Structure 1
Amino acid sequence: MRLVFLSALFWFAADQLSKWAVVHWMRLAEIGHIAVWPPFLNFHMGWNTGINFGLFSGSPDAMRWILIALAVSISAWILWWAKTGLTRPVALLSAGAIVGGALGNVLDRVIYGAVADFLNVSCCGIVNPFAFNLADIGIFLGAFGLLIFADAKKITT
């Protein structure tokens, strides 16, 4: 479980520190857009009150608390799974990435009422209109890691 907690702490801290640095210290919340390495990397401020790609944004404030409860419940379930069913180190690190990322976004929802998204990546003539954050990267990598590396229980007959 130590690997799960270290991974969760890493992703949570990286997410929150990056948000503080970019949103507040670099004043992205006021400026709105910073060209970092155009067109590949831009900081574009977005406050996501919904889920991925802004789905359910503009919903009543109750949705905020439902999403918080859902993220905490999924994180608790992943911690239980990591304790009772995961043994491979990469799977434990993946579980921690999901938990740390989810709790980073939960903290945003509690403090700001929305998730602070700022990373915008485009390439090869394709302009990406969406922004995301390091918590989202942790959640994605963690889900991918669990999909690939989670221990499969052998079924005996």
Structure 2
Amino acid sequence: MLKNLRFWGNSSSFVLKLAGFGLVLDQLIKYWIVHVHEFGAFGLTPVLPFLDLVLVWNKGISYGLFQQESLMGQIFLAGFTVAASIALWLWSVRSTSRIELWALALILGGALGNGVDRVVYGKVVDYIYFHVGTFSWYVFNLADVLIVVGAAIMVFESIILGKGKDS
């Protein structure tokens, strides 16, 4: 089984560049949020009537689920991120669909962005707070956006374009 395992494919450079771009952009913004503007010291910073910037440290996963206060829990989440990133990369190596490659690259870039946070800070830097009227969304970051957009593209390709349906 390992004999047939490939780590590079025809579109790997594309996936690497797009995921890398997402990772670098995500980390630059987070660096600015934490170290340059120091949002933690200022609290909420309004940007638009429905959008604020605020520093929130997330020790869990999406939507703040599975908060991990212990070092072992944080190591587990970091390890899971590494395993998921490897799986996404291996999936992309075998993919021949351009749409799927875009989606996988976005998801991989987002996963790596949040993974770097886990290694550097022991938690994820979240900073985008979306709200309209009484509706309030959770605080998230660019890496989360990349993951959600990538997943939405996968769903679009599967349902709308019919990929994976029996012929």
Same fold flag (TM > 0.5): yes
Query: 1:147 maps to which residue?
Result: 155
Instruction: Decide whether aligned partners of structure 1 residues 149 and 2 sit closer, same or farther in structure 2, where only a CA change above 3 A counts.
Output: farther
Distance in 2, Cα, partners of 1:29 & 1:131? 14
8 Å contact from structure 1 (residues 3, 89) kept in 2 = no
- Unaligned ranges ≥5, structure 1: none
One-letter identity of the residue aligned with 1:88: S
Distance in 1, Cα, partners of 2:127 & 2:66? 19
Distance in 1, Cα, partners of 2:139 & 2:58? 9
Greater RCO structure (CA 8 Å; 6+ sep): 1
| 1:56-135 to 2 correspondences below 5 Å | 56-84=66-94, 86-123=95-132, 125-128=133-136, 130-135=138-143
TM-score (norm 1): 0.88
TM-score (norm 2): 0.83
Distance in 2, Cα, partners of 1:110 & 1:32? 24
Percent identity of the aligned residues?
33
Distance in 1, Cα, partners of 2:44 & 2:164? 48
Distance in 2, Cα, partners of 1:129 & 1:31? 20
Q: 2:40 aligns with which of 29, 32, 36?
A: 29
Aligned CA RMSD, in angstroms, stands at 1.9
One-letter identity of the residue aligned with 1:49: K
One-letter identity of the residue aligned with 1:37: L
Aligned residue pairs, count: 153
C-alpha distance after superposition, 1:125-151 (max 9, x if no partner): 133152100000001111111222269
One-letter identity of the residue aligned with 2:114: N
Q: Match of 1:16, SS? A: helix
In the TM superposition, residue 29 of structure 1 has moved relative to its aligned partner by 2.2
- Unaligned ranges ≥5, structure 2: 1-11
